[in-house]
């Protein structure tokens, strides 16, 4: 069934040429992107405040602004407000286009958007008032609110599957494998996370380990990869390097990823077999990660000129590199010898930003810059994209490097058994640099919001069409095996 | 229809099977883990405190799991499955911006210390970056009948009035003080976990080595660096690095009669067995000092005592591990 790259007129089958071709889809894509952008601004402003509090713990220490309440507001806001809504909005567009059809139901998609937002707003308020389900990462919202989120997922799955069912060709393009399966898996994750019967004491620890990693790797990863498989060939105007490699990555990701959650609880009282299984499959994850990354990079082959031809492609490129580096780093962190140093330190916070920001956020931005202009017929400004790109890239680099070095210092302090408070003192310069990176990242989000405005309601900018000239860079490709 | 069913149905079915095997199945089993010896359910007040703890996100900076690796020894024995039976929602945590709290009820048993620390962490730990939890306290002109004011040092106290804990603060402190590991015989570092870690075996537990070290007193010489490190790790939270204590809450060691007494018996006894409700320099201290006999060897205690006897202007006779051993064997 897998189709080779040569025979696939990849992303463009059934594309309606003019942006006005499907105004309902365009409005939907716009609304999801604007909503996600607002969540991004809110949740990262909170993140910036949190970073500041590491140096000024008495700043805004009132009840509703205390660190421990704002921290889950930041993580849940970026996860379920920004990233989920941005990815789902782009996924609707990708699914409809790659299936060469209109969306099954625009109305259902709007209901989904409302449900996502109701859940995120209610969750934020509940956390700020001190109501949570425990300090259980990424599932802090009280359970009725997480049921609303689950309902949003069900609506989304129904709509996407029904859209794929009315596709204009026999085959299902790879993007839809990742997108639809990602939503289906997440329905399972959300259901498992909410049911109480097996979540007492240590039982809940097992579910926490499963949940916190699957919510990342079986939700954000497949959706972001689904967008890569459509956007990268689209902007390059050439087929994906290997369809078969994409299929391999899909099934291996499914078989390996769900088994590695226990690596969040190495050396914990969880059964030793559960921890060892997690380490083994953390290593096995190198197969889908390298297969997927190689596939994207080979699709981009011949386009590395040391100059940026297209900012949409630049965002997607950084996303792929961070997927590769961040996931490989995750494998390394799962080894017991290294986990003994890095676990519980700020190193893991650096890791989560390398993956959720470097990979997922850059993938979402790349897809928005690549696809939203096609839907609305409005380009952002080239300068705006450039400023967003460089601020975000330099910002996250400072952030991740500072916390990786700092986390290592922190871990070695503990190994050397110096008084604990020394590790707090030693982290101060790295917390400061984290804040510097955070400021740049936040500024880039303001520029992104401006760019979104120009792609939707405002006056279009001067950037060229996101679809690049396929003949450019041919001379370099010439020496390679051309698909 | 056919490829759809194969891809989406297959992916969903495989995922459900894996999730049942790796998450739900083990969780059903683990939810039935029986409580360890002496592990009791929380009282009403302590449960309420646990909700305050979770609701304010304390678990994001403080773990509650001790790993069977040497660096975690400072927090207690390795956590055992039976420790978590009554702990729902779980608070094992993922980050140690601040220290692990598994055993905080044993290592910081003073409610006064806990209240001051919550009101303003920097009043007792100058380098701390923990936020203050002043919103858990009230400032009143005079403590109402039946309530006790928190002896916040003047520098950190409000300009007018006294600080009294709210019900939430009392519950939180009751919860924190309930965090005490119960002893499990033969469950020391590495040994109890069946040598499952790849870490090298750690030194034997200090208390167990005490008789051996006291036997070898001939070789003892006071190590000032080690004395200072041990003091910082075990004593300075209350007595402060300045040795001046916290006025009204924790007694000073600088110029302290017991520290300056050439007869070290009371000094050694206090470190070994703790103290409660004592009057020092005319001030009565209500807060309790924990015993260190179970955690520190005779040599460690001698180093701490000698550090205290030669710092902050104190010049008093030094002690040897043999002196400590003598008080240790004479019992309480």
The rounded average pLDDT for each run of 10 residues, N- to C-terminus, in chain A (483 residues) is: 37 42 93 98 98 96 97 98 98 96 96 98 98 95 97 98 94 96 98 96 95 94 98 94 96 94 89 92 96 96 81 96 96 94 96 98 98 95 97 98 98 94 97 98 98 95 89 48 35
CA distance A93 to B68: 50
Query: Which residue in the set B23, B56, B125 is minimally distant from A210, CB to CB?
Result: B23
Q: Which residue of B has its CA nearest to A157?
A: B8
Give chain B positions within 8 Å (CB) of A207: 23-24, 27
Give chain B positions within 8 Å (CB) of A177: 7, 11
Give the pLDDT of residue B289: 87
Give the pLDDT of residue A320: 97
Residues A460, A381: contact at Cβ < 8 Å? no
User: CA triplet A25, A28, A30: central angle to 5 degrees?
Assistant: 110
Give the pLDDT of residue A211: 96
Tell me whether residues B89 and A135 touch, CB distance under 8 A: yes
Q: Which two tokens stand for residue B80?
A: 């055992």
Give the pLDDT of residue B188: 56
CATH number of A301-468: 1.20.210.10
What is the SS3 assignment for B220?
A: coil
Q: Spell out the residues 6+ positions from residue A25 whose beta carbon is closer than 8 angstroms to its own.
A: A92, A93, A96, A102, A103, A106, A375
Give the pLDDT of residue A262: 86
Lowest mean pLDDT segment, chosen from A360-364, A390-394, B4-8, B14-18: B4-8
Give chain B positions within 8 Å (CB) of A272: 196
CATH 1.10.760.10 placement within chain B? 36-183, 207-330
CA distance B28 to A101: 45
> What number is the average pLDDT over the span B40-63?
97
Closest to B328 measured CA to CA, from B304, B303, B297: B297
Residues B302, B121: contact at Cβ < 8 Å? no
> Looking at the predicted structure, is the pLDDT value of residue B56 above 70?
yes
> Looking at the predicted structure, is the pLDDT value of residue B204 above 90?
no
B196 touches chain A (CB under 8 A): yes
Residues B128, A57: contact at Cβ < 8 Å? yes
CATH number of B207-330: 1.10.760.10
Q: Spell out the residues 6+ positions from residue A251 whose beta carbon is closer than 8 angstroms to its own.
A: none
- Cis (ω within 30 of 0) for the bond into B89? yes
CA distance B240 to B256: 14
Residues A172, B4: contact at Cβ < 8 Å? yes
Tell me whether residues A135 and B128 touch, CB distance under 8 A: no
Q: What is the enclosing helix (H) or strand (E) of B279?
A: strand B279-280
Tell me whether residues A181 and B8 touch, CB distance under 8 A: yes
Q: Which of residues 263-302 of B touch A (CB under 8 A)?
A: none
Number of H helices, E strands in chain A: 18, 0
Q: Which of residues 392-431 of A touch B (CB under 8 A)?
A: 414-415, 417-421, 424-425
Domain B36-183 class in CATH: mainly alpha
Kindly give the pairing relationship between strand B288-289 and strand B275-276. antiparallel
Residues B75, A118: contact at Cβ < 8 Å? no
What is the SS3 assignment for B129?
A: coil
Helices (H), chain B: 2-4, 10-19, 25-30, 44-55, 104-107, 111-119, 167-178, 206-215, 224-234, 236-239, 257-260, 265-273, 298-309, 321-330
Give chain A positions within 8 Å (CB) of B78: 269
What is the SS3 assignment for A162?
A: helix
Residues A324, A371: contact at Cβ < 8 Å? no
- Say yes or no: ipTM exceeds 0.90: yes
As a residue count, chain B comes to 332
CA distance A1 to B79: 51
Give chain A positions within 8 Å (CB) of B23: 192, 206-207, 210-211, 258, 261
Closest to B17 measured CA to CA, from A195, A254, A157: A254
Q: Which of residues 86-125 of B touch A (CB under 8 A)?
A: 86-99, 121, 125
Give the pLDDT of residue B181: 93
Give the pLDDT of residue B185: 75
Residues A88, A112: contact at Cβ < 8 Å? yes
Query: Which residue in the set A170, A271, A344 is minimally distant from B63, CB to CB?
Result: A344
Based on its alpha-carbon atoms, the radius of gyration of chain A, rounded to whole angstroms, reads: 22
């Amino acid at each position: 069934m897998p189709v080779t790259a040569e025979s696939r007129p990849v992303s463009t089958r059934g594309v309606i040429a003019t942006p006005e071709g499907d105004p309902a889809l365009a409005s939907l894509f716009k609304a999801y992107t604007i909503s996600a952008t607002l969540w991004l601004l809110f949740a990262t402003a909170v993140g910036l405040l949190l970073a500041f509090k590491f140096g000024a713990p008495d700043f805004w220490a009132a009840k509703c602004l205390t660190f421990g309440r704002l921290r889950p507001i930041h993580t849940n806001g970026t996860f379920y407000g920004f990233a989920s809504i941005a990815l789902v909005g782009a996924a609707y567009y990708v699914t409809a286009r790659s299936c060469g059809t209109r969306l099954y139901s625009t109305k259902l998609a709007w209901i989904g958007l409302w449900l996502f937002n109701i859940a995120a707003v209610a969750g934020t308020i509940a956390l700020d008032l001190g109501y949570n389900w425990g300090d259980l990462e990424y599932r802090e919202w009280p359970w009725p609110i997480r049921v609303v989120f689950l309902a949003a997922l069900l609506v989304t799955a129904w709509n996407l599957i029904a859209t794929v069912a009315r596709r204009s060709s026999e085959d299902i393009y790879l993007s839809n494998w990742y997108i639809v399966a990602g939503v289906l898996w997440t329905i399972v994750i959300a259901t498992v996370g909410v049911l109480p019967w097996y979540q007492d004491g240590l039982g809940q620890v097992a579910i926490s380990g499963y949940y916190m990693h699957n919510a990342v790797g079986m939700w954000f990863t497949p959706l972001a990869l689904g967008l890569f498989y459509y956007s990268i060939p689209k902007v390059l105007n050439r087929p994906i390097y290997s369809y078969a490699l994409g299929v391999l990555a899909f099934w291996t990701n499914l078989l390996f990823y769900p088994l590695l959650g226990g690596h969040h609880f190495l050396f914990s009282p969880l059964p030793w077999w559960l921890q060892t299984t997690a380490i083994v499959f953390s290593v096995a994850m190198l197969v889908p990660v390298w297969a997927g990354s190689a596939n994207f990079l080979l699709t981009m082959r011949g386009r590395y000129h040391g100059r940026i031809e297209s900012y949409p492609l630049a965002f997607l490129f950084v996303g792929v590199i961070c997927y590769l580096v961040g996931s490989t780093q995750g494998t390394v962190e799962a080894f017991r010898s290294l986990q003994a140093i890095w676990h519980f330190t700020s190193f893991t916070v650096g890791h989560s930003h390398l993956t959720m920001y470097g990979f997922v956020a850059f993938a979402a931005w790349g897809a928005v810059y690549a696809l939203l202009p096609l839907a609305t017929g409005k380009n952002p400004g080239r300068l705006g994209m450039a400023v967003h790109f460089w601020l975000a890239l330099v910002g996250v680099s400072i952030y991740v490097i500072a916390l990786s070095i700092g986390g290592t210092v922190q871990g070695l302090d503990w190994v050397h058994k110096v008084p604990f408070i020394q590790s707090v003192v030693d982290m101060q310069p790295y917390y400061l640099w984290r804040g510097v990176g955070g400021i740049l990242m936040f500024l880039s989000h303001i520029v992104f919001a401006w760019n979104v405005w120009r792609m939707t309601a405002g006056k279009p900018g001067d950037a060229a069409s996101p679809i690049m000239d396929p003949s450019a860079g041919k001379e370099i490709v010439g020496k390679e095996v051309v698909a | 229809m056919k490829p759809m069913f194969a891809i989406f149905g297959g992916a969903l079915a495989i995922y459900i099977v894996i999730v049942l095997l790796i998450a739900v199945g083990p969780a059903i089993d683990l939810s039935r883990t029986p409580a360890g010896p002496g592990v009791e359910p929380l009282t009403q007040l302590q449960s309420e405190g646990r909700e305050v703890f979770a609701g304010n996100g304390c678990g994001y900076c403080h773990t509650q799991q001790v790993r069977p690796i040497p660096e975690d020894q400072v927090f207690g024995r390795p956590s055992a499955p039976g420790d978590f039976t009554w702990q729902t929602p779980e608070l094992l945590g993922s980050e140690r911006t601040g220290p692990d709290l598994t055993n905080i009820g044993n290592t910081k048993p003073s409610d006064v210390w806990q209240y001051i620390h919550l009101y303003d962490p920097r009043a007792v730990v100058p380098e701390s970056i923990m936020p203050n939890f002043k919103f858990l306290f009230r400032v009143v002109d005079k403590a109402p009948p039946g309530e006790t004011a928190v002896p916040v040092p003047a520098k950190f106290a409000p300009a007018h009035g006294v600080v009294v804990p709210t019900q939430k603060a009392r519950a939180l402190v009751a919860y924190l003080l309930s965090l005490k590991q119960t002893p499990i015989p033969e469950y020391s570092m590495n040994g109890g976990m069946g040598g499952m870690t790849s870490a090298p075996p750690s030194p034997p537990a200090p208390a167990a080595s005490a008789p051996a070290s006291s036997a070898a007193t001939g070789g003892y010489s006071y190590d000032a660096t080690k004395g200072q490190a041990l003091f910082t790790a075990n004593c300075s939270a209350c007595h402060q690095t300045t040795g001046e204590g916290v006025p009204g809450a924790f007694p000073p060691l600088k110029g302290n009669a017991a520290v300056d007494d050439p007869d070290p018996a009371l000094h050694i006894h206090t470190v070994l067995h703790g103290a409660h409700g004592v009057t020092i320099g005319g001030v009565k201290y209500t807060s309790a000092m924990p015993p260190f006999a179970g955690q520190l060897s005779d040599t460690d205690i001698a180093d701490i005592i000698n550090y205290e006897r030669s710092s902050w202007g104190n010049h008093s006779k030094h002690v040897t591990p043999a002196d400590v051993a003598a008080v240790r064997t004479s019992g309480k």
